[in-house]
Structure 1
Amino acid sequence: MFSPKYEIAETLTGHTSSITVVLFSPDGEYLASGSESGVVLVTATESWETVKTLVNVSPVTALLWDPTFPVTLVCGFASGATLTVHIGESDLDRSEHGVWADTFDGPIHCISINDLGHILAIGHGREVTLLDQRTLSYWENNRTMPSPPEFTEGLPAPCPRVLHFMKDGRLVVAYMDHGIVCWDVASMSVLWNIVPRSCSLGWSAISPGEKHIVVSNLFDGLDFYSIANCTLSHSVPCPINQQSNALVPVLYSSDGSAVIVGGTSGSVRVLDSRSCETLQVLSHDGDLIQAVDSCTTADGSQIIAAGVGISSGATVITSPAPGPPKPGAPASPRNTYPDL
C-alpha cells in the first residue's frame, strides 16, 4: 500500500486565539484561516507569508472560496454576519475590501456553493438559506429550505452542520440531530435521507466519486454510509472526548485515497479510505484540532493544514512530491480511488 509520508513543514503563528476553520484555495496558492477572535488570515502557500488580514468582532465560523471570481473569499461569523472579500494583486497591502455583506438569523454554521458558482447555500441558526449570485457584490432571491424530515419523536430544532453541493447540483445537508438529507434545490423536495447510527453528527465529507459520505459523531468516532442505498457501510472508532462536545473535523484527501481526521485527542489521523487502516498519526501535543483541510500542489505534494485550538497556531503538514522513478523501475503508485 502506497501512502505519502507527512511531516510538519510550517507552523503559522499569526492568530492569537483558537483557530476555528482552515481552507485552501482551489489552486492551492492560498490558505485562509479564521479564529475565535474574529480574525481571518490569508497566507500565500509559496512563501507562507500573510497577504491579507480581516478583523471582525465575532468568531469566524465558516469560510468558502468562490469558484466564479478568482481569489474571492466568503466569510461567515458567529454573529450571523457574512462578508465577501476579493483578494486581488492590488489588495496585497493588507487592507480590507469587503464587497458584499449580509446578516442572517443565528450563527453561520456552514457555507457551500454549487460548481457553476451561482447558488450559495448558507447554514445558519436552525435553517438553510439559498441565494442566487448575479455579480461579485450582488446576491438575490433569498429563499429558505424546508425543515428536514424527523425520523423519531422529540428531536431538537434542526441545526445544519455541513453543506455539500454535489456535481449535479443536488444539495446534501448534514444536520446535527436530523441525519443527512439530499435536497432537490429547484423543487425544495427531499431526494433521499440517511438515518444516522448514532445521535449528534459533528462533521461530514463526501468522497470525490460521490459514492460514500463519512461523518464524525459525538459518541465514538466515524461512520461511513453508502449514498446509493443510504445505509451504513462501516464504523471506525476514534478517540472522542464526550465531555467537550467538540465537533471532530473529517475530510477526504483530494485524490480520495485518504480520510483525514482531527479531534480532541491532540492529533491528526490519516486513514486509508478503503481499509480505514491508520496510515499516520500526527501529534500536536494534546491540543484540540477543530479544523483541517488538504490540497494537492502543482508538483504533486499533498498538504494538510490543521487548526490548533489551545496554542492558536495553524500547522502545515506536507508530504514530499513523488520523485521520478529510478531507471528501469516502475513509477510509484498513487492511491487514487475514482470509484469512491
Structure 2
Amino acid sequence: MSDFRLSAYLHVRTLKNGHSDTVNYLAFSPNGAYLASGGEDHAVIIWNAQQGDLLFRLVFKSAVDVVIWHPVHPDTIILDFYVGNLVLPSPGDPVQVSEFVEQRERAVAVHFHKDGAALIVSYMAHGIIGGTALSPDHRRIVVYNLIDGLDVYALPPQKKAKVKMSFKLDAKPRQRHKMQVTYVNRGHGVVCGTTTGKISIWETHTGEVAQHLPHDEDVVQAICATIVDSTSWIATAPACRGQETYIKIWRAKIAHEDNEDRKESVIDLVHAVARSNRFKRSWKFILELLYIALCTTGCAIVGWVCYQVPWSVVWEALAAGCGQAYVSSKEYVALCGSWLYVGGVQVADLACFIASALEEWLRHILRKFLLHLIPELGENIRHGAADVPNGDL
C-alpha cells in the first residue's frame, strides 16, 4: 500500500515580472505564507505565496546561490553561508571527483540541522554538483548526483558513506546544472527538477515515480515545497530564461490521515522534541528539581527522627554501632592478615621452585656449552661417570 496519499499536483499560478535571470534557489517560509527566491540577477525577492504578489526586492553585489529561512527567528532569511554577523569559514580546497570542477567555491544548498545547532552546507566545488535535502526526521540526506538521479545517505555521516537508496531519472541530464531537491508530504515523497523539461516526484518508500510535472521543456533547477493545512505546495523556477524568467506554483490535496499517519506524526513529534535544545534544558531542570526534592526529603526525615527519638536512645544506638564497627574491623583485619600470610607463603614456595628450576636449566645449558667447546671432556665424563655425582661436571 502506498504511503504517498496525495492527489495529483496541479499548476495554479505563475509568478512573473520578478527576476531577470536564472533563479538559483527557492524557499517557502516555515508557515508557508511567503516564498523567497534568489537568482543570478543579484536579487532576492519575497513573494506572497498564496496570492502571488511581489512584496520585497533586495539587490546585492553578486549572484544569490542559496536562500533559507531562519529556524528560530521568524521572518528572517539567510543568504549563502552568512548568518547575521557570523561568517562561516571556508571548507578548504576543492576535491576533484570528476572531470568537471567549478573554480568558484559555490554553496548549492544549506540546511539547519538539530534545530539550528548545526549547519549542513553542500558545495559545488566539492563534488556535490546538484542540490541536497534533509528528510523531516533529520535521519537522511538526499543528493542529486548529476549522473542519473538522486542518492540517499544516512545522518550522521559514516566513515565510509554508502548509498542507502536511489531514485533514478528516466533520461540522463542534458547539461550540467545544480538541481534543488526537496521532500514533500511529510517525507513520503521527494521532488527534483530535471534538464529535460519536467519535474520528477518519487515515493520515498518504494522509489517509484509518483508523477511528472511538465515545465515547457525548460531546465528546472530551483524547487521547494511546503504544507499548509491539508494542502501540499510546490514552487518551481526554470534556468536560462533571461527576462522571461518565471516561477510556477503547484498544489495537491493530502488525503485524510488514518491511524498509521497519526502514529508517524507522533513519532516525528517525539524525534523533534528529543532533538530540541529546549527539551534538553527542560530535562536538566527536571533532574535538578528531583535532586532538590530528594535532598529536602532526606533532611526532613533526619529532622523528624531527631525530634521524635530521645537523645539517650540515639547515643546508645551510636555507641552500639561504633562497637559493632570496631569488632567487625578487627575481624576484617585478622582475616586480611591470614590471607596475606597464606598468600606470602605460597608466593615464597613459588619463588623457590622457580629459582630451583632456573638453576637446573642454567646447569644444563652450561654443560652443553662446555661439551661443545671441549669434546674430549665428554669422553672423560663417560669413562668416569661412576665417580661423577649426578648433575656435576
Please, what TM-score do these two structures have when normalized by structure 2?
0.56
User: 1:219 pairs with 147, 167, 170, which one?
Assistant: 147
Residue type matched to 1:33 in 2?
S
For the pair 1:22 / 2:26, whether they are aligned, the reply is yes
Q: Deviations over 1:123-146 (max 9, x none)?
A: xxxxxxxx5x5xxxxx15x45255
Aligned position for 2:36? 32
Residue type matched to 2:118 in 1?
R
Aligned position for 1:273? 204
Aligned position for 2:131? 203
Describe how 1:289-304 pairs up with structure 2 within 5 A.
289-297=220-228, 299-304=229-234
User: 1:53 pairs with 54, 57, 61, which one?
Assistant: 57
Superposed displacement of residue 210, structure 1: 1.9
Describe how 1:297-316 pairs up with structure 2 within 5 A.
297=228, 299-309=229-239, 310=241, 311-316=244-249
Unpaired runs of at least 5, structure 1: 76-110, 112-120, 123-130, 134-138, 180-199
Q: Say if 1:222 and 1:50 are closer, same or farther in 2 by CA, change over 3 A.
A: same
Aligned position for 1:41? 45
Q: Is the 8 A contact 2:65 2:108 kept in 1?
A: no
Determine the C-alpha separation between the residues in 1 that align with 2:254 and 2:174: 40
Q: Is the 8 A contact 1:208 1:254 kept in 2?
A: no
User: Which structure has greater helix proportion?
Assistant: 2
User: 1:319 pairs with 245, 252, 261, which one?
Assistant: 252
Residue type matched to 1:261 in 2?
C
Determine the C-alpha separation between the residues in 2 that align with 1:212 and 1:143: 23
Q: Number of aligned pairs?
A: 255
Superposed displacement of residue 39, structure 1: 3.2
Q: Secondary structure at the match of 2:230?
A: coil
Residue type matched to 1:305 in 2?
A
Q: Say if 1:161 and 1:52 are closer, same or farther in 2 by CA, change over 3 A.
A: closer
Q: Is the 8 A contact 2:14 2:246 kept in 1?
A: yes
Q: Say if 1:203 and 1:145 are closer, same or farther in 2 by CA, change over 3 A.
A: same
Describe how 1:158-173 pairs up with structure 2 within 5 A.
160-167=107-114, 169-173=117-121
Determine the C-alpha separation between the residues in 1 that align with 2:263 and 2:213: 20
Determine the C-alpha separation between the residues in 1 that align with 2:249 and 2:230: 16
Q: Is the 8 A contact 1:17 1:312 kept in 2?
A: yes
Superposed displacement of residue 333, structure 1: 5.9
Residue type matched to 1:258 in 2?
G
User: Which structure has greater strand proportion?
Assistant: 1
Residue type matched to 1:8 in 2?
H
For the pair 1:236 / 2:190, whether they are aligned, the reply is no
Determine the C-alpha separation between the residues in 2 that align with 1:294 and 1:148: 33
Aligned position for 1:11? 14
Q: Say if 1:171 and 1:33 are closer, same or farther in 2 by CA, change over 3 A.
A: closer
Q: Deviations over 1:12-65 (max 9, x none)?
A: 112343322211111111112233323332221232222222334643322122
Q: Secondary structure at the match of 1:255?
A: helix
Q: Say if 1:204 and 1:287 are closer, same or farther in 2 by CA, change over 3 A.
A: same
Q: Which is greater in Rg?
A: 2
Superposed displacement of residue 225, structure 1: 1.7
Superposed displacement of residue 159, structure 1: 5.4
Unpaired runs of at least 5, structure 2: 272-393
Q: Secondary structure at the match of 1:22?
A: strand
Please, what TM-score do these two structures have when normalized by structure 1?
0.64
Residue type matched to 1:164 in 2?
H
Determine the C-alpha separation between the residues in 2 that align with 1:331 and 1:164: 31
Residue type matched to 2:150 in 1?
L
Q: Say if 1:237 and 1:321 are closer, same or farther in 2 by CA, change over 3 A.
A: closer
Residue type matched to 2:245 in 1?
S
Determine the C-alpha separation between the residues in 1 that align with 2:174 and 2:43: 27
Residue type matched to 1:314 in 2?
I
Residue type matched to 1:23 in 2?
A
Aligned position for 2:299? none
